[in-house]
Amino acid sequence: MGIFHSQGKQVTDSIQAKPFSAKKGFASLIVLLALFTWAFYPEIIRIITRSKLILNNVHIFLVPFAIAMFILVKKNTLRQCDTHGSAAGFLLIFLGCFCYAVAAWPFSFGYARDLAMVPVLAGILLLCFGRKVFFKLIPVFLFVFLAIPIGPRLTATLVIRPETYTLMASQNIMELLPNVTTELSGLDLTIYRSGTSNIVALGRTSRAFQLYFVYALIALFVFFTSNRTICKYIAAVIMTVPVIFLCNLARFLMLSAFTAYFNTSALSPISGTIAALLSICLAYLMFILIFNLKINLFIEDEPLCETGE
Amino acid sequence: MLKMSKHLHNISLILSALLLVFTATMLRGTIAKLSDYFTKQTVPARKPLKTFVDSVESIEKNFQWKDQAVTQEIETDDCFLIKFESQDQSVAKHGGYIHAAYYSQPGSKVPHTPDVCYRQAGSIIKEIQKIPINLSPVANNPETIDVTLVRLEQKEAEMVILFCFIAEGQIANSRTKVRLITSKPGNSRTYFCKVEASCSYPKGSAPKPYIETAGTLMERLVPKLLDEYLPTEEMLK
């Protein structure tokens, strides 16, 4: 009886202590986030400036909303978590600052410097709210990771293969349309129709492989806003990349169709924006469909009849 | 135990705050000072690469390319691009181009690789892969290096390009590896060199003999550059 009584008292104590630890956690979080912003402001400003210039990075402005929405969706689960901070957070912050320093000297890699902010943020969260909240908020770090733009030279190297395949696939599909002929030369897909010729998205950087981080962000958001089984994790790992490629192909095909049938100017932002928005909607629908499909990998045996043989 | 973990947590909070303050106030300055102090100096090539065309005996040079606009674009004037037909029968059949550019200014940006450049110029990439080439095929102790093979389709022909970088005496086949080698502390002087060998051939032909020809060119070009033109290890100290 005494044991039960003391256990009950401990539970009551922990419930009473929780609001205090959460308050302390929030206070620490605000201070540390302010210091984080001070420490990494050149990187933050660089990311914002770059995202204003390049359409491919425009999703960066949506990431804070995605994070806020994600936390809102997970509000009840997070409330139930123990919010005692973990000292291990300091190690993550140290690791992030160390990587930042090494990526500045002796090795000078801007992207690695930007990425170093992710472990620092993760460390701050772990330090303020502890392991349980940290693990529940892992998708938030993935959102932040996707918000960090890759430099133009690295992008130029990384997009070669997907861009080449997209251009070739688009050329083959466009050739199937009536009265349309195409010519592919490097990055230029020229479309000939009714005596006119237009190049699709002429002059745009990585024109045939854009918005891949936006599609990935949608995939992450759709996936992590519900609790998933291990089968869904496997399905997500297998399906996400092909769907990203497919949505990009759809975007470029729409752009090609606008160019062919409406003679839109290569420099016109309207056709590019419409194609981008439609492909984003397509990505959202496809990820909802894929992640909510019922996958029955294991078929349960029917229970044996009690009176059976 | 609980008290101890609370203490540890409080200490971690204070240390984290201090670390972030240090990052904000002193880290960048310290890095800038270190970077200035340890900046690697420029080192001239043993022989200018421009003179390469005069010293290769085994090739019949058709012309030596030198275009001011292009040398400006590739940010160095110590370079060559030579079209040739070799007296060696294995190479003579197809001919080809060899190109190398030497960079030694601290902070020189590593140029784009052919897979990036040729696409901008209208080529379509057919294949990119790493292939091994033997630097001393006749020696008893052959040394093999990996170079990058790029196969392209152009308007009227196809082309194979083999390329690699030589950075502070080491072979690298990506821009990132060059940056890692040239940034690594150790040497007080730095350089890197981009080396390419290419062959054009009619559309639809099997690429294998042309890849072999470009490979033969690389096998001769890289050791020659290392042995006679590029700075030695001692020159980098």
With contacts defined as CB-CB under 8 Å, which chain A residues touch B27?
39, 97, 100-101, 104
Indicate the range of A77-81, B26-30, B86-90, B93-97 predicted with least confidence: B86-90
Which of B12, B119, B155 is facing A87, going by the closest CB pair?
B12
pLDDT score at B90: 59
SS (H, E, C) chain B: CHHHHHHHHHHHHHHHHHHHHHHHHHHHHHHHHHHHHCCCEECCCCCCHHHHHHHCCCEEEEEECCCHHHHHHCCCCCEEEEEEEECCHHHHCCCEEEEEEEECCCCCCCCCCHHHHHHHCCCEEEEEEEEEEECCCCCCCCCEEEEEEEEEECCCEEEEEEEEEEECCEEECCHHHHHHHHHCCCCCEECEEEEEEEEEEECCCCCHHHHHHHHHHHHHHHHHHHHHHCCCHHHHC
Is the minimum CB–CB distance between A29 and chain B shorter than 8 Å? no
CB contact under 8 A, B17 and A31: yes
Whether residue B128 and residue A94 make contact (CB cut-off 8 A), yes or no, is no
- Buried b / exposed e along A276-303 (16+ C-beta atoms within 10 A): beebbebbbebbeebbeeeeeeeeeeee
pLDDT of residue B101: 93
Partner residues linked to B117 by β-bridges:
none
- Of A191-200, B10-19, B190-199, the poorest mean pLDDT is in A191-200
Question: Is the Cβ pair B16, A32 closer than 8 Å?
Answer: yes
Contacts of A118 (CB under 8 A, 6+ apart): A96, A141, A144, A145, A148
Q: Do A127 and B12 touch (CB under 8 A)?
A: yes
User: pLDDT for A122-140, tens place per residue?
Assistant: 999 999 999 999 999 999 9
Q: Which of A10-14, A216-220, A293-297 has the lowest average pLDDT?
A: A10-14
A185 CB near a chain B CB, below 8 Å?
Answer: yes
pLDDT digits (tens, 9 = 90+) for B40-99: 999 999 999 888 877 665 444 444 444 455 556 677 888 888 876 655 565 556 667 888
Instruction: Please check whether residue A187 touches B, CB under 8 A.
Output: yes
Residue B191 has φ and ψ, to the nearest 5°, of -160, 160
Q: Considering only CB atoms, which chain B residues are within 8 Å of A31?
A: 17
Structure confidence at residue A28 (pLDDT): 92
A90 vs B: CB within 8 A: yes
- Is A5 or B222 the better-scoring residue by pLDDT? B222
Task: Round the average pLDDT of chain B to a whole number and report it.
Answer: 84
Other beta carbons within 10 angstroms of residue B76's beta carbon come to 18
Cβ contacts of B22 on chain A, cutoff 8 Å = 97
pLDDT at B35: 87
Contact A39 B120 (CB under 8 A): no
Q: Do A127 and B34 touch (CB under 8 A)?
A: no
In this predicted structure, what is the pLDDT of residue A298? 47
- The answer, for A184 touching chain B at a CB cutoff of 8 Å, is yes
Question: For residue range A232-290, what is the model confidence (pLDDT) as tens digits?
Answer: 888 888 899 999 999 999 999 999 999 888 887 767 778 888 999 999 999 999 999 98
Q: State the Cα–Cα distance between residues A266 and B138, nearest whole angstrom.
A: 55
Q: Which of B123, B175, B179 sits opposite A186 (nearest CB)?
A: B123
What's the pLDDT at A7? 46
> CB-based contact (8 Å) between B20 and chain A?
yes
The pLDDT of residue A13 is 47
Question: Chain B, 163-182: which have a CB under 8 Å from a chain A CB?
Answer: 174-175, 179-180
Asked if the ipTM is above 0.90, the reply is no
Mean pLDDT of B198-218: 88
How sure is the predictor about A15, in pLDDT bands with cuts at 50, 70 and 90?
A: very low
Residue among A284, A281, A285, A293 at smallest CA distance from A228:
A293
Q: Please, which residues 57-96 of chain B have a Cβ atom closer than 8 Å to chain A?
A: none
Distance from C-alpha of A236 to C-alpha of B77, rounded to nearest angstrom: 51
Average pLDDT for chain A? 85
Identify the residue among B16, B19, B26, B116 best suited for mutation to test binding to A, counting A beta carbons within 10 A and taking the highest.
B16
Percent of chain A residues topping a pLDDT of 90: 53
Out of A38, A85, A97, whose CB is closest to B19?
A97
* Global confidence as pTM: 0.82
Whether B230 shows a pLDDT value over 70: the answer reads yes
Q: Calculate the alpha carbon distances from A68 to A37, A63, A117, A293, B63 in Å.
A: 18, 9, 19, 26, 64
Q: Quick check: B35 contacting A, CB < 8 Å?
A: yes
Nearest CB partner across the interface for B13, out of A127, A184, A185? A127
Whether residue B39 lies within 8 A of chain A, CB to CB, comes out as no
Range A9-29 average pLDDT? 64
- Distance from the Cα of B86 to chain A's closest Cα (Å) equals 31
In this complex, is the C-beta atom of A104 within 8 Å of any C-beta atom belonging to chain B? Answer: yes
User: Distance from first CA to last CA of chain A, Å, rounded?
Assistant: 49
pLDDT of residue A18: 54
How many A-B residue pairs are in contact by the CB < 8 A criterion? Answer: 114
**Half-sphere CA count of B213, side-chain side, radius 13 A:** 26
Percent of chain A predicted with pLDDT > 70: 86
Q: Which of B21, B116, B121 sits opposite A157 (nearest CB)?
A: B116
B29 touches chain A (CB under 8 A): no
Q: Tell me the shortest Cα–Cα distance from B31 to chain A, in angstroms.
A: 6
Q: What is the pLDDT of residues A61-71, one digit of tens each?
A: 889 999 999 99
Q: A87-98, pLDDT tens digit by residue? A: 999 999 999 999
| 207-246 in chain A: CB under 8 A from chain B | none
